[in-house]
Every structure is written in C-alpha cells, then in structure tokens.
Amino acid sequence: MEILQSIPPLPPSLEIWQQTMSWQPTPSQLDQFQQLYGLILAGNRHMNLTRITEPTEFWEKHLWDSIRPLAFGLSSPQPQDLPLQPWTTDRPLRGLDIGTGGGFPGFPVAFSLGAIYPQLELTLLDSTQKKILFLEEAIATLKLPDIRATVGRAEQIHHQPDYYQQYDFCLIRAVANAEVCVQYAFPFLKPGGLVILYRGRWTQDEEKILNQTLRSLRGNLIWIDAFITPLSQATRHCIYVRKECLPLPVTRSL
Ligand code: SAM
C-alpha cells in the first residue's frame, strides 16, 4: 500500500476525549489514528473513500464520531438502562460494521474497544469490492489480525450460516433509513445483541416508524443518546436497539 511522504498531524485532543467521553487514547492508539489517516489519504487518491480529509474534520467526523457511541463500553460505570451482560472480556466479542466504506466507524471502534475487550473480533462489511480491497490492505499494513473485511450486500448475506446470528453488536452509519438499517442488522445479531445506529438529527416520526418495524422484528429501542460534537457543535443521535432474547421453545417429554 502506498505510504504518503507527509501526513498532516491530527490535532492534539486528549483533553477533549477526556471531557466528552471520560476516556482518552493511549500513545499507541494515537499512533494508530495517525497511521489510519495516512492510509485513507493515500487510498483517496485512487478511489472515493471519504470527502472528509482535512485533519480537524477527520478527527471529529471519523475518529471522535465513530468512538463516541461506544463510550459506554470504554468507561465505567455503564448506563444502567444499557445492560451489557453479554459483553465480557473472557470470551470473544463479535462486532460487524455494515456499510463501512473507508472503515468507519469500524476501525476507530476496534482501536479503542479492542484495548478493553482483547477478544474483540470485528468484521467490516461493504457492498463495493474496491473498498474491501483497500480495507484488506489497510488491515495488513496496520497489522490487525482480529479485523476482517468482507464484500457483500447486508440483505443478501445476512441469512448465510457464516453470518446468521453470529454477532454481539452491529454498527451502522450513513447507510440507509433507521428502519432499513435494523432490517439489515437483525439477522446478523445473536439473541440479545445490540444494533447501534449512528444518526444526525432524529425526529419523532423516525422513532415512530422504527418502533413499528421493531414490533415485527422483535426488538426494543433501549436508549437514544443525543449529543453535540465538540468542534463543529453538530447534533448527533445514537440509537441503541436490542434484539429480544426469545424464550426457548417448550419441549415435552413423552
Ligand atoms: N459507514 C461509512 C461512514 O460513515 O463513513 C460509509 C458510509 S457511505 C455513505 C455508505 C456505504 O455503505 C458505502 O460504502 C456503500 O458501498 C455501503 N452500502 C450501501 N448499502 C449497502 C448494503 N446494503 N450492504 C452493504 N454495504 C452497503
């Protein structure tokens, strides 16, 4: 993979991380962010990975914005209404980023959450083969054995045995309407799994339609987290949806 000779430094931002999510990256995580930035700038020369390339904007929209919705898993205590019992450090934690594009939010989430959950395994899914080739090269360059990139359309692969009900959580940013996103994600999730929808503005109409869809999918909207981005002061909403744990079928002995 092409290495750019000069990569602009990302803004120093330790205090902002700490103030906004009670977490701050280690020097090696900062190094990973910087390397990822270089790879994205290089990849962007050959394909349209992202229009967000200016260092400050990249920091806010691709790094901070990717990690902020997972802050509950990075710091303690966790919100009481977000029971994370299935998330433990002693067994694999499997995540899927649907429509990952240039690897967002997946890469920054892997860099940050991976330090807390060493058994984190993340799949980056996108329907565009060219982006997947870029992601595979980036994974090899950054030496990330627990991340893999897969090409496919979510709605065409989510019932395949390798994917069906295999994931503890799905992330999905800038791919489709909320109700379409949950329809894409639900088959991938284990019972009790979590979908995290990254949204900008969020309206009551969107919530109503999402709740209607969730009734048929057997899911529950468990948390809506509204927040403002630290530099551009833009509105964000993070929507957390849990797939119900269905009771086991009753078996009768003869
Ligand atoms: N999530 C990234 C981000 O926030 O920077 C990329 C967002 S980009 C606007 C949408 C991406 O979703 C594209 O890379 C596109 O190829 C992918 N995509 C769209 N529909 C998809 C589907 N049904 N299954 C998998 N990927 C899809």
CA–centroid distance, residue 153 to ligand 1 (Å): 9
Structure confidence at residue 116 (pLDDT):
87
pLDDT score recorded for residue 246: 72
User: Comparing C-alpha atoms, which of 98, 146, 163 is closest to residue 124?
Assistant: 98
Ligand 1: list residues with CB < 6 Å: 98-101, 104, 125-128, 131, 153-155, 173-175
**DSSP assignment letter at 64:** I
Q: Is the peptide bond before 105 cis (omega within 30 degrees of 0)?
A: yes
| Per-residue model confidence (pLDDT) at position 50 | 96
Let me know if residue 177 belongs to a domain. yes
Omega within 30 of 0 (cis) for the link into 77: yes
User: How far apart are the CA of 123 and the centre of ligand 1, in A?
Assistant: 14
Q: Is residue 115 marked as binding?
A: no
| pLDDT attached to residue 91 | 86
Ligand 1 pocket mutation pick from 53, 104, 126 by most atoms within 8 angstroms of CB: 126
Of all protein residues, the one whose alpha carbon is nearest to atom 22 of ligand 1 is 153
Q: At 155, which amino acid appears?
A: E
Provide the pLDDT for residue 177. Answer: 97
On whether residue 123 sits in a domain, the answer given is yes
Looking from the CA of residue 154, the nearest atom of ligand 1 is 24
Atom of ligand 1 nearest to the CA of 66: 4
Residue 176: strand, helix, or coil: coil
Element holding 20 (H helix, E strand): helix 14-21
Note the pLDDT of residue 74.
Answer: 80
User: Residue 207 Cα, ligand 1 centroid: separation in angstroms?
Assistant: 22
Please, are residues 59 and 69 in contact by the beta-carbon 8 Å criterion?
A: no
104 is in an annotated binding site: yes
Query: Is 154 within the bounds of a domain?
Result: yes
**Pocket residue to mutate for ligand 1, from 104, 175, 188, 196, most atoms within 8 A of Cβ:** 175
Instruction: Indicate whether 40 belongs to any domain.
Output: yes
Instruction: Sort 190 into a burial class: Cβ within 10 Å, 0-12 / 13-18 / 19+.
Output: middle
- 187 in a structural domain: yes
Domain with 142, as residue range(s), is 17-77+92-243
Q: Tell me, yes or no, whether 7 lies in a domain.
A: no
Residue 218 in any domain: the answer is yes
| Number of domains into which the chain is organized | 1
CA 76 to chain centre: 19
CA–centroid distance, 154 to ligand 1, in Å, is 10
CA–CA distance, 162 with 234 (Å, rounded to integer): 38
Q: Residue 99 annotated as binding?
A: yes
What is the pLDDT, as a whole number, of residue 171? 98
Predicted pLDDT at 110: 97
**CA 81 to each of CA 72, 94, 221, 222: distance values in angstroms, whole numbers, following the listed order:** 11, 21, 11, 7
Look up the CATH number of the domain holding residue 129: 3.40.50.150
Residue of the nearest CA to atom 5 in ligand 1? 104
ipTM over cut 0.90: yes
249: CA distance to ligand 1 center in Å? Answer: 37
Give per-10-residue mean pLDDT for the chain (254 aa): 74 84 91 96 95 96 96 67 64 95 98 92 98 98 96 97 96 98 97 95 98 96 93 96 76 58
Is 2 within a domain?
no
At 97 the pLDDT is: 98
